[in-house]
Each structure stands twice: as structure tokens, then as C-alpha cells.
Structure 1
Amino acid sequence: MTPEPPARTVEAHQERLGLPWWAWPAVLLVGAILATELTLGIPELPAWLPYAVLLPLAVLLLVPLGRLRVAVRDGEFLVDDARLPVEFVADVVALDAAGKREALGVGAHPTAFVVQRPWIGTAVQVLLDDPADPTPYWVVSTRRPVELATTLLAVSRRARAGRDSPAAAS
């Protein structure tokens, strides 16, 4: 008897929320200005030292900001290291810039799970149906909100149908 092959990972949606192109030169410019200020303010310092320290530091500070991944796979909605089983997704709303601003504004629920990037104008709001979880919804930035919402709803409906079917109960 041969062992079964491992289950194949099905990626329904995946994106990386990287930084816009202009963030890199802007941060390098700020680092260069600070290095120049230090060079002029502390003449005892070797002129190259502030540049050698601050420019790589500026780049290192940006790297984690551009590594956020959003995915729907293996029955879970993954946002960075947070995981939400799709069977607890009640509804998903694609938000444009105005909708995102409203969802994150004054009326936002204090226990909502929010992962937003200010340089990405659109998002999804994922409404939850989990009595054991006090979190009412997730708001997650995405560049493709309609695609993510459609995928998440479809995968969630399949998971709920599989969970609620009589064959699954036996």
C-alpha cells in the first residue's frame, strides 16, 4: 500500500502589499538629509559615517512594510501571520477609498481587526460569524478588493456547505 500524496495547496487569491515606487527614493532622500545634518552639526565625525549608517538603516526600515501578504488558501484567509478559517466569514464587502475611510473612521468598532496600509486606497471588510470570537469584522487593505471579496465569499460558501451538509455530520 502506497502512502497518499500530500494534499495540494489551493491558492484562491494571493497578493503582496508592497510599497509604492516613490517610497524608496523618498526615504533615501530623508536619510541623506539627516546624514548631511549630522555631518554639518558634528564636524568631528568622519563625513562618510552618517551616510554609511543612515542610508542602509532607512532601507532596512522600509523592508518589513512591503512584505505583507494577503491570501486565501487551504480554507483560511491569511493576512500576514493572522489566520481566519473561512467558515466563519459571514459576508465580505469590497471598499473603495471612501468606504475604507468610513470603515476606519469614528464609527469603527474598537475590537475590529485592522490591517491597513495608507498608500493603498481600497480594502475589504470581512464580517464574521463566530460566537466564540469578540471580533466583529476584519478590515484589510488590498489592491484588488472585488477579486478578494468574490474569492473569499465563494470559498466561505463552499466551506459552510461542506460543514452543514448531512454527509459531513456523519
Structure 2
Amino acid sequence: MSHPASPNASPADDPRGTHRSAERPGTKILYEEKLSPAWWMWLLVLFAGLVALVALAPIDPWVGVAAAVVVAGGTAVALVASSSRIVVTGESLQVGRARIERRFVGEAEAFRGDDVRRVRGPELDGRAFMNFRASVGPVVRIRITDPVDPTPYWLTSTRHPERIVEVLSPRP
């Protein structure tokens, strides 16, 4: 993952939120992150294509190559399509396709290491909204305070959990 100061950083990875949103013109983004696959997930694309090639090449080499291309391409499309974004503005919080007004966002907590296993496992509430990515270890738990929403909290993977906590914390 590139840091925002690096010339290779994308605007979606910028935790400072300087990238403009398509959400609403003039809405200032306080935080934005794209949960794209890690480099090692792309090895799965190559592996899937290789498996198709090895399985079908003995029957016909051209069928094996064609199947490898189709399987690897389909796996790549699925990997890219599974990417989600976290966007925090002054008005709303969006995680993937879910969006909630900031007035219903409560306390946020950051988790790393063994604490991630605890909050994703034994302490997990089945009513929670979950947005996990295998290639992103840390998570943030965001309490939902809407009295009519049965969802107690959102739990999402993020590369910068402490930054999300900072952005969602109420200003004194």
C-alpha cells in the first residue's frame, strides 16, 4: 500500500480526504479509502488460470489456453468487483454500498492483531453490518445510534482504523 505522500498513491488511498467526491458537489471528503485487493491476491488469479490450463491442456492445448484466459479473466473481474470504498464526509458515512447520515454515527473503535479475531469472532453481533476483506487485517467498529435501525454497529476492514476513529470522533 502506498502512502498518500508517495507519487504512486491514488486519491482513493488518501486518508487526508483531499479527493473530491461524486457524492455531492462541494461536499468535503474527510476520509476516503478504497479497499482494493493486496498484491498477493493477484497470485490467486494466476493460480486459477494455471489450474484451468493444467486440467484441460491434455485434452486440447488450445482449449486449455482458452479456459485459462477465461478463468483468470473471470477471477480478476470478481476480485476488482469485490473492492469497496469507505467515504466519510461531514454529512454521511459510506461503507461499500451502505450509507448512513453522520447524526446516527456513534463511537468508533479501532482494532488490530488479536483484537480483530475477538471482535470478528466471539464478540460479533449477528445484526451488525460487516464489510470484511481477506487482504486487509485491521478493522473499525462504528456504533449506530439510529433508534429505528436494528443494526447495532458496522464492522469494516480498513488499512487506517485509527484515522477513521479520529475523523468520526466528535469535535470539542
Structure 2 Cα separation of the partners of residues 17 and 127 of structure 1: 21
2:72 to 52, 55, 69: 55
User: Which structure has more helix as a fraction of its residues?
Assistant: 1
1:146–1:47 distance in 2 versus 1, CA, 3 Å: closer
1:9 to 19, 27, 52: 27
- Aligned equivalent of 1:69: 85
1:55–1:119 distance in 2 versus 1, CA, 3 Å: closer
- Aligned equivalent of 2:119: 103
Alpha carbons 1:39, 1:50 under 8 Å: kept: no
1:153–1:44 distance in 2 versus 1, CA, 3 Å: closer
User: What is the correspondence of 1:4-153 to structure 2 with a 5 Å cutoff?
Assistant: 8-40=26-58, 42-43=59-60, 46-65=63-82, 67-153=83-169
SS in structure 1 of the partner of residue 169 of structure 2: helix
**Which structure carries more relative contact order (alpha carbon 8 Å, separation 6+)?**
1
SS in structure 2 of the partner of residue 28 of structure 1: helix
Structure 2 Cα separation of the partners of residues 20 and 47 of structure 1: 28
CA shift, 1:64, in A, is: 0.9
Kindly report structure 1 stretches of 4+ aligned residues shifted beyond 4 Å.
none
Q: How many residues matched?
A: 149
- Ranges in structure 2 where 5+ consecutive residues have no aligned partner: 1-23
Matched to 1:100, the amino acid is V
CA shift, 1:97, in A, is: 2.5
1:7–1:46 distance in 2 versus 1, CA, 3 Å: closer
Larger Rg: 1
Scaled by the length of structure 2, the TM-score of the pair is 0.77
- Ranges in structure 1 where 5+ consecutive residues have no aligned partner: 1-5, 159-170
Alpha carbons 1:28, 1:59 under 8 Å: kept: no
Alpha carbons 1:38, 1:50 under 8 Å: kept: yes
CA shift, 1:15, in A, is: 0.6
CA shift, 1:102, in A, is: 1.1
The CA RMSD over aligned residues, in Å, is 2.1
Alpha carbons 2:51, 2:68 under 8 Å: kept: no
